[in-house]
Chains A and B, each alone.
Chain A
Amino acid sequence: MSSSELRHALGPMCVDSPDGLYACPRSARELTEVLAVLRAHGVALGREVKLSRGAFDRLEAVEPKSCTVLAGAGLVLADLERLLHPHAFTLGTLSPHALTLTVAEFLEGPYAGLKPVPVGRLEPISISLEAVLADGRQLKTHFSPRSAAGPDLSALVLGAHGRIAVVLKARLRCLPLPEARQVVRLSFPSVEAALDGVRAALADGCCPARARAQKVQQRTVLEVELAGALDGVARDAQSLQHRAPTLGGRPAGEALHPPATPHEHECSWPAVARALDHGEVLDLYRLSLHGAIVAGGAGGLGLDAPARWAHGAGLAATVLGGPL
């Protein structure tokens, strides 16, 4: 089928750009129509026709009590962050690369839309979302903090590279804008001790915005940035300072230089340890007991480009295998 035929079939719902044909639906209904056309023509979304969610670029609602906002999937996170500030909200500290992504890319891509929460856990930044499934049907998940009403269907979207469902809007969990920031700099006798210290502090409830780490001579220096409510930051600093001495940690003086490469990977803690042992400077974001998003030379899941699915590919291909 020629691209002009497709363009004709999609009508005003598509734009022919120098980069190729883009479907630009303005509503869930239009996306459903786009999918129907593609299905009828045996074309997969993402190959001959790319999807633009540029029309979904609004901050639609701010819920001050639950600290959530309803955002279009096409909004770039850095822009969204700016839109949130007048409401005294923030998305929390996202990694530099994540900030360049749209809401959709952040949710559907390898970041899987995860954010850290106290005691070293991760949870989806989206509390609920509106998406369209491959067969054109809509999927709206409930706006509630947790649910036991069946499986979490938002997992069809998060990290699924848009191959099962395409997100159009998401209600995102925000944080109050931080009142204070503080950097705690510590040095430890070994990489393991430093990372044990981080894990212990995370389990205590300390929720750092980010950290920088490097092996300097025989010791490992850890620079932890804390952000949040005034007394919250003080508490987190205390947690770190409380754990550090038990692992041979002590205050450190000099600030570390930033990492050489900005490439981001999702790393397990052993991968972080290996990179530090190789002498890398690492910036750590989204710290949790699972690991961290790491800028700098560390091995892990590449976050800059879509990776192949490690598993569950059959899920998209077999069941939901439609034109996505």
Chain B
Amino acid sequence: MPPPPDLVVWPSTEEEVQAVIAVARRRKLPVIPYGAGSGVCGGTWATHGGVALDLKRLDRIGPVDATARTVDAEAGVMGETLERRLASEGWQLGHTPSSIYMSTVGGWLAARSAGQLSSRWGKIEDMVLSVRAVLGTGERLETPERPFSGPDVAQLLIGSEGTLCAFTRARLRVFPLPEGRAFHGYDFKTVADGLEAIRVMFRAGLRPSVVRLYDPFDTAIVGDKPPHVSTTSPSQAPALSRELLPALFRVLAPQTLGRPGLMNRATHLLRKSRLVLVFEGEAARAADEDAAARTLCQRLGAVSLGPQPAEKWLASRYDVSYRMSKVFEGGAFADTFEVAAPWERVYEVYQKVREAVAAHAFVLCHFSHAYLEGCSLYFSFVGAAPLGQERERYESIWRIALSAAQSAGANVSHHHGVGLLKARALQESLGEGRHALKMLKDFFDPDGIMNPGKLGL
């Protein structure tokens, strides 16, 4: 169980945030900014006790400035609430992380989040014009909008995961709701071919909003069946699926997932790699970009599957978040980890991580969030261990995977952040640069009260 804070506070205004931080400074109490708690790196764990600063009551959304194409949203606004409000006025942020139902604007800023449509609309740091925050010094800060002279302090605060400041508000770029969308799925003979297609596509100036290439095993899991939508509550389900199957899973999980080597080897038999693309925006342009992408993919030997796989993806794009319950309930463990690398390194990172983790957990990967220069790799691993050894196995998988990824040329995180989980990896990867991070810490939070321990600070 994560260590609990000593108390939780719910400020409703920036002044109240300031007051809390002032008291905490005087008393040298840790302050742990808290959005919706969807972070997956232990960023909100109160390892040193202190005050959990829940920012969700800062939940005001300003009107859209249609000329400047911006909206002001407070840090505690939940993602889905914001997108719905914008959509009702014909706009979108285009930021749709899988956690959109359970994450906040402040949490996005704090962890440099990426939405599923980031390949076109950007990550959160690309959408921010300015931020308002209360620093660890207790001072309030509003960063300027371009044009301005001097360093972009917003970019020094974004990604700080509560260690430098508490975000209170952001001015964000909005886009008109897409007039049209073009969907397409392809099967490539190999992962490498699929990666090359994405690279060439970006080189040719195409910017799909969704780019997801599934490795052969993920492709097999994604499958062709339409997404399953349950209409019966688990308590009303027939006994077979309510009791027998979960019990069977609990018995089988340690025997199969506990010995992943065999399953991972079996995946060598699979080759096909599925690419899902969505182009969106002005309708004719989206269709045109889709046609251009088709030519490129087919040149690289892809089989076009038509719009269905991408439409299916859209319909079930948040489903994976729900799968956790079944895995955990069955006594297994699952986690995901994501990194980014330039095109020169992407395939090697993929191979090295798979090889490293294969003996310990069942591993799959997809590639998404693409750029002209590279892309992100998103690994999922599922495993099981004898009772009492789960944590040890889980932690060793993390160590092994991260070190394999980094030695092959990946960074520490593309969009989940660092928190506690990757703190050591971050510090190591920064080398001497960690002093720059520490200097920022000393400047913005001289008493070290803000979220101690996270990012290794």
- Whether A and B are associated in the same complex: the answer reads yes
**B388: Cβ under 8 A from any A Cβ:** no
Is there contact, CB below 8 Å, between B341 and A144? Answer: yes
Which chain A residue shows the least CB distance to B207? A118
**B412: Cβ under 8 A from any A Cβ:** yes
Is there contact, CB below 8 Å, between B372 and A173? Answer: yes
In whole angstroms, how far apart are the Cα atoms of A258 and B355 in the complex? Answer: 59
**A274: Cβ under 8 A from any B Cβ:** no
**B429: Cβ under 8 A from any A Cβ:** yes
Tell me which residues from 406 to 457 in chain B have a Cβ below 8 Å from any Cβ of chain A: 409-418, 422, 426, 429-433, 435-437, 439-440, 442-443, 455
In whole angstroms, how far apart are the Cα atoms of A147 and B340 in the complex? Answer: 7
In whole angstroms, how far apart are the Cα atoms of A104 and B431 in the complex? Answer: 22
Is there contact, CB below 8 Å, between A137 and B432? Answer: yes
Is there contact, CB below 8 Å, between B175 and A119? Answer: yes
Q: Which residues of A contact B122 (CB under 8 A)?
A: 119, 121
Which one of A119, A228, A309 lies within 8 Å of B120 (CB-CB)? A119
**B103: Cβ under 8 A from any A Cβ:** no
In whole angstroms, how far apart are the Cα atoms of A121 and B122 in the complex? Answer: 8
Q: Which residues of A contact B385 (CB under 8 A)?
A: none
Known: A144-B414, A235-B285, A307-B149. A150 touches B161 (CB 8 A): yes
Is there contact, CB below 8 Å, between A289 and B69? Answer: yes
Which chain A residue shows the least CB distance to B341? A144
Known: A66-B342, A148-B418. A310 touches B199 (CB 8 A): no
Is there contact, CB below 8 Å, between B148 and A147? Answer: no
Known: A156-B151, A235-B285, A310-B149. A145 touches B207 (CB 8 A): no
**B160: Cβ under 8 A from any A Cβ:** yes
Tell me which residues from 144 to 161 in chain A have a Cβ below 8 Å from any Cβ of chain B: 144-161
In whole angstroms, how far apart are the Cα atoms of A126 and B411 in the complex? Answer: 16
Of listed B150, B410, B439, B442, residue having the most chain A CB within 10 A: B150
**B111: Cβ under 8 A from any A Cβ:** yes
Q: For chain A, which range describes its interface: under 10, 10 to 19, 20 to 34, or 35 or more residues?
A: 35 or more
- Choose, from A12-20, A33-41, A275-283, A311-319, the stretch at the interface: A311-319
Quote the shortest CB–CB distance from A316 to chain B (angstroms): 8
**B307: Cβ under 8 A from any A Cβ:** no
Is there contact, CB below 8 Å, between A319 and B439? Answer: yes
Which chain A residue shows the least CB distance to B69? A289
- Choose, from A2-10, A51-59, A199-207, the stretch at the interface: A199-207
Is there contact, CB below 8 Å, between B149 and A308? Answer: yes
Q: List 23 A-B contacts (CB under 8 A).
A: A66-B372, A118-B120, A121-B126, A123-B126, A144-B374, A145-B371, A145-B375, A147-B411, A149-B418, A150-B418, A151-B155, A151-B159, A153-B437, A158-B155, A203-B176, A232-B206, A268-B145, A268-B146, A269-B68, A291-B146, A310-B149, A318-B443, A320-B443
In whole angstroms, how far apart are the Cα atoms of A179 and B278 in the complex? Answer: 26
Which one of A135, A144, A268 lies within 8 Å of B410 (CB-CB)? A144
Is there contact, CB below 8 Å, between A151 and B372? Answer: no
Which one of A68, A154, A229, A312 lies within 8 Å of B153 (CB-CB)? A312
Quote the shortest CB–CB distance from A251 to chain B (angstroms): 18
Known: A68-B342, A140-B431. A147 touches B443 (CB 8 A): no
**A300: Cβ under 8 A from any B Cβ:** yes
Which chain B residue shows the least CB distance to A143? B342
Q: Which residues of A contact B63 (CB under 8 A)?
A: none
Is there contact, CB below 8 Å, between A204 and B285? Answer: yes
**B32: Cβ under 8 A from any A Cβ:** no
Is there contact, CB below 8 Å, between A146 and B369? Answer: yes
**A287: Cβ under 8 A from any B Cβ:** no
Quote the shortest CB–CB distance from B192 to chain A (angstroms): 12
Q: Which residues of A contact B375 (CB under 8 A)?
A: 145
Quote the shortest CB–CB distance from B277 to chain A (angstroms): 15
**B152: Cβ under 8 A from any A Cβ:** yes
Quote the shortest CB–CB distance from B229 to chain A (angstroms): 32
Which chain A residue shows the least CB distance to B41? A148
Is there contact, CB below 8 Å, between B440 and A158? Answer: no
Q: Which residues of A contact B411 (CB under 8 A)?
A: 142, 144, 147, 149
Which chain A residue shows the least CB distance to B415? A148
Known: A144-B414, A315-B153. A242 touches B111 (CB 8 A): no
**A196: Cβ under 8 A from any B Cβ:** yes
Tell me which residues from 104 to 158 in chain B have a Cβ below 8 Å from any Cβ of chain A: 111-114, 120-123, 125-126, 129, 143-153, 155-158
Q: Which residues of B contact A66 (CB under 8 A)?
A: 342-344, 372-374
Q: Which residues of A contact B199 (CB under 8 A)?
A: 65
Q: Which residues of A contact B372 (CB under 8 A)?
A: 66-67, 145, 173, 175
Which chain A residue shows the least CB distance to B376? A146
In whole angstroms, how far apart are the Cα atoms of A120 and B127 in the complex? Answer: 10
Is there contact, CB below 8 Å, between A310 and B148? Answer: yes
What are the interface flags for B283-326 relative to A under an 8 Å C-beta threshold, 1 for contact and 0 otherwise? Answer: 01100110010000000000000000000000000000000000
Is there contact, CB below 8 Å, between B437 and A144? Answer: no
Task: Given contacts A150-B418, A203-B281, A291-B147, list 11 more A-B pairs with CB under 8 A.
Answer: A67-B203, A68-B373, A137-B436, A140-B432, A143-B342, A144-B340, A149-B411, A149-B429, A159-B149, A235-B288, A239-B285
